[in-house]
Amino acid sequence: MTTAAPRDDRANTAEELDERTLDAWSAYRESLRELTGRPYDEAETRSWDRLQEELADISDLRTHIRVVG
């Protein structure tokens, strides 16, 4: 009987982390598309915070890959 470990939802290779970084920046840009004035200002703050959290998470994973790998 063959068993497989469940796949972690997080990226586990440098290439996957690169893709995740690009996706995070794309989501940031998309969230602000076509917004101007006050709606832009309000959305930008939230979007920037989400982006920074995602990039920090990715950075932590990169560190883990370097240490473990």
Distance of alpha carbon 69 from the chain centroid:
21
What is the C-alpha to C-alpha distance for residues 36 and 57, in angstroms, rounded to an integer? 29
Give the residue extent of every domain in the chain.
Answer: 14-68
Residue 19, token pair as written in the block: 């893709």
pTM for this prediction: 0.77
Per-residue pLDDT 10s for the chain (69 aa) are 555 444 455 556 999 999 999 999 999 999 999 999 999 999 999 999 999 999 999 999 999 888 876
Residue 64, token pair as written in the block: 């883990």
